Amino acid sequence: MENLYQPLQSKVLDVITETPTIKTLVLKPPQEIPFKAGQFMQLTIAGIGEAPFTPSSSQYDLNTMEITILKAGHLTEAVHELKPGDWVGLRGPFGKGYPMEKFEGKEILVVGGGVGLAPLRALLYALFHNIEKYKRISIKYGARNPSELSFRNQYHKWAKLPNVDFECTVDRANGNWDGKVGLVTELLENTGIDLTNSFAVSCGPEIMLKFVTLKLLNVGFQPGQIYLSMNRKMSCGMGICGRCNIGPYYLCKDGPDMNYAKIQQYPDVFG
C-alpha cells in the first residue's frame, strides 16, 4: 500500500462462522494487498475503531483476503455483526512475516491454540505452496472444546499432503468427541521431530505460548529454533507509538513473530 495511514475500503463478500466465538471475513479490497505470511493488517470499522489482525488466507491468492477473528471485546463484537455487503477499512501489511527462507530444508512444527490457528493458516498455505522445500510439516492444535476447533473441515485435507501430519486436542470433551483430551503441550512430547534440523512456530494466547515454549525447551529445542507470535496490544503498526515493545524490539515492526532467542532475556515476554 502506498500510504500506510490510509485504510482501503474493502467489501465484506462473505462471513463464515468457524465456531461460536470465531468468524472469518472474506474481504475484497479495491486492489491486491501483497503480504507475507505472518504480517498483519489494521482493520477499521467506521465509528468503532481499529485493531490488528493477521490474514488467515494465502499470500498466493490475493483476489480476496480472509481474516479470522475471535470475539474479544468492543471492535471484535462489531466484526461479528458484519454481513456480506458491509465495508471495513484495511491498512497494512505491517511486521516482518515468517522467515520462510530459513525454514527451507527443515522440519517445521506448527503449534496453534484457539484462534491462533488463523495466522498460522497463512503460514501453512505458504509452506504447502512450496511443499517440496520442507522436510516435514507437523501441525499440533489445541482448542477449549470441540466446538471451538477452527477450520475443522480442512484438517483431513492438510494431513493428506506429503510429509504433513496433523493432530489436535481439546481441553474439555463434549458431544460425541472421541479425539484427544488435554492441553496442546501434551502433543509436543513425542513428535519424532529431528531436533537437529527443525523450527517450531507457535501462535495462541500468551499463557499457551509460555507453556509451549517451556515444553519445547524441555524436549530439546534451542531458543533460536522457536518462533512465537507476540500478539500484544498494538496501535500504529510502524514502531512509532511505542505500545508494543519488548526490550529494544517493537513487536509491530520487528515481529510480531519473534525468535525466542532474541527476547528470552526480557522479563515481560509472556505478559
Ligand X SMILES: Cc1cc2nc3c(=O)[nH]c(=O)nc-3n(C[C@H](O)[C@H](O)[C@H](O)COP(=O)(O)OP(=O)(O)OC[C@H]3O[C@@H](n4cnc5c(N)ncnc54)[C@H](O)[C@@H]3O)c2cc1C
Residue 60: closest CA among 100, 20, 4, 106: 100
88 lines the binding site for ligand X (CB under 6 A): no
Given candidates 191, 231, 260, 269, which one binds ligand X under the rule CB under 6 A? 231
74 lines the binding site for ligand X (CB under 6 A): yes
151 lines the binding site for ligand X (CB under 6 A): no
Residue 71 CB, shortest distance to ligand X, in Å, is: 7
* 53-65: burial string, b at 16+ Cβ within 10 Å, e else: bbbbbbbeeeebb
234 lines the binding site for ligand X (CB under 6 A): yes
Q: Which three cell numbers stand for residue 143?
A: 482448542
69 lines the binding site for ligand X (CB under 6 A): yes
Report the alpha-carbon distance of residue 78 to residue 2 in Å, rounded. Answer: 28
Q: Which stretch binds ligand X (CB under 6 A): 84-92, 168-176, 229-237, 259-267?
A: 229-237
- Sheet hosting strand 49-53, strand order edge to edge: 49-53, 40-45, 87-94, 8-19, 22-28, 65-70
Task: Find residue 42's DSSP bridge partners.
Answer: 52, 91
70 lines the binding site for ligand X (CB under 6 A): yes
Nearer to ligand X, 205 or 223 (CB): 205
* Residue listed under C-alpha cell 525454514: 103
25 lines the binding site for ligand X (CB under 6 A): no
According to CB under 6 A, which residues from 106 to 135 bind ligand X?
115, 118-119
75 lines the binding site for ligand X (CB under 6 A): yes
Q: Which stretch binds ligand X (CB under 6 A): 68-76, 97-105, 139-147, 186-194?
A: 68-76
Report the alpha-carbon distance of residue 174 to residue 257 in Å, rounded. Answer: 33
- Do residues 200 and 227 lie in contact, with contact meaning Cβ atoms separated by under 8 Å? yes
Nearer to ligand X, 83 or 233 (CB): 233
Residue 254 CB, shortest distance to ligand X, in Å, is: 12
Given candidates 20, 30, 34, 73, which one binds ligand X under the rule CB under 6 A? 73
Q: Which stretch binds ligand X (CB under 6 A): 135-143, 154-162, 188-196, 231-239?
A: 231-239
Nearer to ligand X, 69 or 216 (CB): 69
Among all residues, whose Cβ is closest to ligand X? Answer: 73
Report the alpha-carbon distance of residue 230 to residue 252 in Å, rounded. Answer: 9
Given candidates 52, 93, 112, 204, which one binds ligand X under the rule CB under 6 A? 52
Chain centroid to CA 91: 18
CB-hemisphere CA count at 13 Å for 74? 8
Report the alpha-carbon distance of residue 69 to residue 115 in Å, rounded. Answer: 7
Given candidates 13, 46, 72, 240, which one binds ligand X under the rule CB under 6 A? 72
54 lines the binding site for ligand X (CB under 6 A): yes
Residue 175 CB, shortest distance to ligand X, in Å, is: 24
Give one DSSP letter per residue of 44-113, joined into a string.
Answer: EETTTEEEEE-B-S-TT--SSEEEEEE--SHHHHHHHH--TT-EEEEEEEES----HHHHTTSEEEEEEE
Residues contributing to the site for ligand X (CB under 6 A): 40, 51-54, 68-70, 72-76, 115, 118-119, 231-234, 256
